[in-house]
Amino acid sequence: MKKILVAIAVITAIVCFNSCEENYFELPTTHTNFIDSTKSQREWLIEFYNFYNGDEWINNENWCSPYPLNTWYGIETDSNGYVTAIRLPNNNLNRNDYKQFNFNQVPYLRILDLSNNGLVFTSLPNNLEYLDISGNKCTYINLGGTRLTNLKYFDN
């Protein structure tokens, strides 16, 4: 079964390949069953921090620390400790290229607010109910087959 899922992922990645300046691509976010179970949400958030130049953020309190994730600035978790919200508006998140960040590691993410930052490109996770990426320099939003059937609020 695992080999079949990997084969489907590879075929899907080839079909959905998005040629950017650096030919960077990711698996479409519709396949939440491809989550790397060896990577914790903490590791994913640290990658997120590094990807969006976290050392330059206006507020990065507790990020990359051993403290619980819900004490990291802008992160909310449910009672099981799963990340459900990332709220980092007006926080100087920057990424000036067309690389995508893989949101598959946070399948319970419902709220994503990256408004008023310096983003030029983003991909979107599934299952969002609230999405605010307004006030960015976004010239392209990669839906990559993303299902936004639960989306109740969107601002770009």
Closest CA to 108 of 122, 91, 121, 126: 126
Residue range 21-68, pLDDT digits in tens: 332 333 333 333 344 444 689 999 999 999 999 999 999 999 999 999
Residue range 82-91, pLDDT digits in tens: 999 999 999 9
User: What are the tokens at 89?
Assistant: 């508006």
User: What are the tokens at 94?
Assistant: 């920057």
CA dihedral 118, 121, 127, 128 (to 10 degrees): 30
**Which residue do the tokens 């030919």 mark?**
23
Beta bridge partners of 8: none
> At 142, which helix (H) or strand (E)?
strand 140-142
pLDDT above 90 as % of the chain:
40
**0.85 exceeded by the pTM?**
no
